[in-house]
Amino acid sequence: MFKGSGVAIVTPFDENGIDFNKLEKLLEWHINENTDAIIICGTTGEASTMTDEERKEAIRFTVEKVNKRIPVIAGTGSNNTKYTIKLSQYAEKVGADGLLIVTPYYNKTTQKGLITHYEAIANEVNIPIIIYNVPGRTGLNILPETICKLSNHSNIKGVKEASGNIAQVIEISRLVPKDFYIYSGNDDMIVPLLSVGGHGVISVVANILPKDTHNMVKYFLDGDLESAKKLQLQMKPLIDTLFIEVNPIPVKEAMNILGMDVGNCRLPLVPMSIKNREKLIREINHYGIKKWRD
């Protein structure tokens, strides 16, 4: 597991599929900018639009290129338990350090079903699992009591909490063991989550501000609460703009504006509206982010 800022990295696409040359450059940049972990094939990485082979190759490639310099967490979740097990076993086989597994979506399930789902996966792998709770996307919230029960499994080591409900985070922190990791899934709530026992963030904004996101968490964990708060407040307007349309539309647009050339999102996601793009450009300029040099 990691403490700090894990980037929910975008997947750069070109007309042929995944742009692996660009992905490699992004990985090296993140390592140089002190990103603490790479999360590949998450929501921001558009895993739901990838073929099975693309998803596997993205995981394998990332593990190979990072080469244990920082942890690589593979997004292997789906609403099909058997498929999630197979993909998770593949990620373990090629050397991933951990797994990020979203709650089942569309077909959903009960809280009992969530326990059965996650335990079935955890029983078939030997690397740590981070539960991903994002009810705004899945229509299903994992209750704190359910997370507490799952935290007793030896392979279930953390949660990415993206409910936006700080009271729920507090209750999770109260219930789970001290060695269970809690990561913010909301960039606008990193410092509040850390203040109630969190260990870091799995971040969207880190795609364009990796060093600042890393520093925010490090400041807090080192006891410099004022510097952490200052960065959280400074980044807030830009974070808000990165979610003015469905993620990852704005962050990919921001990266392209900054010269990173990561391509467009895949359908059904479409380019930003002109009005929102102009607002995004204003916030990028206001923050003072420099053009990217690979």
Q: Which residues are catalytic?
A: 132, 160
What is the Cα–Cα distance from 34 to 28, expressed in whole angstroms?
Answer: 10
- The label of the residue with tokens 């997004």 reads 75
- One-letter amino acid identity for 226? E
In this structure, what token pair is assigned to residue 138? 């899945």
- One-letter amino acid identity for 194? L
* Helix 81-93 vs helix 111-122: crossing angle, to nearest 10: 30
Q: What are the residue ranges of helices labelled H in the chain? A: 20-32, 52-66, 81-93, 111-122, 135-138, 144-150, 166-175, 190-194, 210-221, 225-241, 249-257, 274-287
- The label of the residue with tokens 């913010």 reads 184
User: Degrees (nearest 5) of the Cα angle 249, 20, 44?
Assistant: 25
